[in-house]
Structure 1
Amino acid sequence: MREAGPPRADQKGMAAMTFYKFAVGVVLALAMIAVLGLSALVFSSRDFQFGVAQIAPSTNGLVDINHLVEVDAQIQQLEAETSAPRGELIEIEQGIAAIDNTVTSAEAEANQTRSEIVGQIAEIESRANIAGPSAAADLDTSALNTRIQSLAGRPGLTPADQQVVANLNTQVRQLATTEEGLDGQSAERGALVARQRLIGGQVAESNRRIFALQQSVVPEYEHYARVRGEAFALRTLSPLGVSAFFAQGHPALLSTMLVLLMGALGALLYLFPAYLNRAAPVTMAEIVVRLIFGMCAALAFYVLANATIAGFSIASSVQQAGTSGTLNPFTVSLIGIVAGVLAEDIAKWIQDRGRGIFQQGGAAASPVATAPPPTPEDVGFSGVNPHGGPNAP
């Protein structure tokens, strides 16, 4: 049998190349995880600022979360100190509402009973040819009682009318009892109203202090509860408080950080297909350079886009948003990702636009740049990314 000789040089090179490609893949994966994690933290903070700016425009999306926590503790302490008066005030308000409902119902029934009594008295007086008093006097309980007593003592009434008069006498007494009850409930309501004013003054003073504390966090203090909920949710789910810390930074800085991270994410979206599909291996240096290039292209395109919008706003006399608090984080992220993936095209486009500005006749008069000859691995490829992506073989 022939003994196996030492491994050939090409086998050693292939093994070394395979390990190097594996190491590059690990670095790409770690870079993607790091960029995704940072992007998620910054995006959540920027989205929180954008939401706060929509709720309370005067804040420009900036809320001191630490101060918010302190203010919330003070508010809870004030509410705890006035919990007894607040509870008593609620009971008083419920008692007043119950009395009002009872009085309204009793008055409606009393008025209906009074109308029926007046009608029956008028019928009896009409049959007995007795001239009745004015309608205003008829509605008074004492006057009704006087008329009923007069009818009861009048001779010549039929037995049916006498029975009706007896029933009317009973109804008038019940009506008088109902009115006495209403008077008692009115007195009870007056006592509750006086107590309500006393307790309400204490609660109102506490509320004024609470509103002042809320206004120190959010000038539009009526939105304090919603802003508080958003801030506490961000603080609770923030790993080690990173998102809450970022959320206290200026929106312009966060938008810049977000576009840089999204540019790096776009660069990684370019590198992963190249790592999987390209014949020439992706190197460590290419990863670093591509990440930096993607971030630079994203920042340049972001600045250029904002400058273009500002120019259009000035030309059309339209008021432009003066701060980054009104910039939608989704739009900023889209700009960064697209610029990171198309870094070469963005750089070339900016170069052409810049040349067109400083040359007479604009971009149309600038010399047409000839494309460099294709490399061997690019022959037969088409699309934006010849090293991988949707159009890669």
Structure 2
Amino acid sequence: MTLKRWFAGFFLLLLMVMALFVNSILFSARSFQHNLYTVDPGSGGVISLAELAAVDVQVAELERQTAPQRGEAAQAEQKAATAQLELDTARDAVAAMQVKLLSTVADLEERAGLPPAAATGAFDTADIAQRLERIGAQRATATQTREAVIAARADLIKLADAEEALGPKEEDLARLEAEKRRIGEFIETSNRAALGLKGQFGDNFQRIRNEARALEASSPFGLGSKLVSMHPTFLTTLLVCLMGALGALLYLFPAYLNRANNIYFADIVVRLVFGMVTALAFYIVANASIAGLTFMPGQDATTNAGASLNPFAVSLIGITAGIMADDIAAWIRERGREVFGGARP
């Protein structure tokens, strides 16, 4: 192996590594734009990662400021639930005492030979007291019945105390509910503000932010952040050209490994440029004549936005054109003759 051939091989290897590195970053950025356009067509696939990060910081700050209130809201919810349970338990106990007392009074009236009282819709403490007085006023009332009347009066006093105790419990529950609403309104205001900030980037803010972080982590020197802010059509064109260069390198490697061929620096440079130009030309012809490059049902060639072009399809066109540059250039020339006419050489 001559020194010139060795340097040509090293130069070819260096170009391949550079092409892989640049194409990986460019493809990642273009894929990010395509995914962004899919989840948020209104964005057009263009986004400023700096603005996205700024909004993320503002949302995090809002959440930090409301963190104490969120803890208080959980405590207020728990306290209100406990107070509601205690009030319900007390009301159930009062209702049980009322039923028991009504049954006792009715039984005492039956023993005393008094006609049963007319049924009323609600429990009336004063009415029960009058009925007990009427039973106790009967001279023919037996001693056992009088003792039962005394016990019923004691139960009536306990019932009155229990009903009176419901008032503070109801007030306490109302106070806790008001506190819970106050904290909830504060948190809701913060949530609406955060939602308004996130709404600038559609309905999938967290997904977009996560993918943006992944892109930033995988692209050195902030290249990914700069690329995704470029126009998708320009980025797609650049991707096609660089994929064409990658295809040209794939063409050159087998030629270099075949020792019968002598590959020089000029051959490498010319083939790279030829592959890029052919890829761009083929992409323009294909995009103008073939519908469905986006692989998105429901769209036609006249409505395809630059961001909707599938980066895999674009890369396939570029690599194929770079490898088959000679054949594709001849094919384009033939199609041109068919469309515009012209004599064959």
Fold match by TM threshold 0.5: yes
* Contact 2:30 2:236 (C-alpha < 8 Å) held by counterparts: yes
Would you say the 8 A contact 1:144–1:172 is kept in 2?
no
Report the equivalent of 1:53.
37
Counterpart residue identity of residue 237, structure 1: S
C-alpha contact (below 8 Å) 2:98/2:159 kept by paired residues: no
Q: Which moved more, 1:185-194 or 1:75-84?
A: 75-84
Superposed counterparts of 1:63-78, under 5 Å: 63-78=47-62
Post-superposition shift, 1:30?
A: 0.8
Q: Does 1:95 align with 2:61?
A: no
Cα deviation, 1:123-162, whole Å, max 9, x if unaligned, reads 958986964643733xx37489669958996958999xx9
TM-score by length of 2: 0.76
Residues 141, 172 of structure 1: 8 Å contact kept: no
Q: Is contact 2:76–2:180 with CA below 8 Å preserved after alignment?
A: yes
Separation in 2, partners of 1:53, 1:312: 15
Letter in structure 2 aligned against 1:26: F
Match of 1:298 in 2: 279
The equivalent residue for 1:350 is 332
The Cα offsets for residues 86-137 of structure 1, whole Å up to 9 and x where unpaired, read as 4333432343344445556766x55984797499669958986964643733
Q: CA deviation at 1:38?
A: 0.4
Tell me how far 1:201 sits from its aligned partner. 4.5
Question: Which residue of the partner structure matches residue 228 of structure 1?
Answer: 209
**Equivalent residues in 2 for 1:12-31 (5 A)?**
15-16=1-2, 19-31=3-15
Give me the whole-angstrom Cα distance separating, in 1, the residues matched to 2:144 and 2:14: 109
C-alpha distance in 2 between matches for 1:38 and 1:300: 21
Rounded to whole Å, the distance in 1 between the matches of 2:269 and 2:181 is: 72
2:204 alignment partner, SS class? helix
Whole-Å separation in 2 of the counterparts to 1:37 and 1:186: 70
User: Could you tell me which residue of structure 1 aligns to residue 244 of structure 2?
Assistant: 263
Q: Which residue of 1 aligns with 2:177?
A: 193
Q: Distance in 1 between matches of 2:213 and 2:236?
A: 22
Task: Indicate whether 1:279 and 2:246 are aligned.
Answer: no
Distance 1:328 1:88 in 2: 49
Please state how far the C-alpha of 1:299 moved relative to its aligned partner: 1.4
Cα shift at 1:31: 0.9
Find 1:136's aligned residue among 109, 118, 121: 121
**Percent identity for Structure 1 against Structure 2:** 36
Q: Assess if the C-alpha contact under 8 Å between 1:35 and 1:265 holds in 2.
A: yes
Distance 1:93 1:143 in 2: 38
Separation in 1 of the partners of 2:159 and 2:249? Answer: 90
Unaligned runs of 5+ in 1: 1-14, 361-365, 370-393
TM-score, scaled to structure 1: 0.68
Change (3 A) 1:83 1:280: same
Name the structure, 1 or 2, with higher relative contact order (CA <8 Å, separation 6+).
2
Contact preservation (8 Å) 2:105, 2:132:
no
CA distance in 1, matches of 2:329, 2:205: 45
Shift of 1:276: 2.1
Give the C-alpha shift of residue 290 in structure 1. 1.8
Deviations, residues 280-330 of structure 1 (Å, cap 9, x unaligned): 2333222212211221222122222221246999xx995854421122212
Give SS of 2:262's match: coil
Aligned with 1:331 (options 301, 313, 333): 313
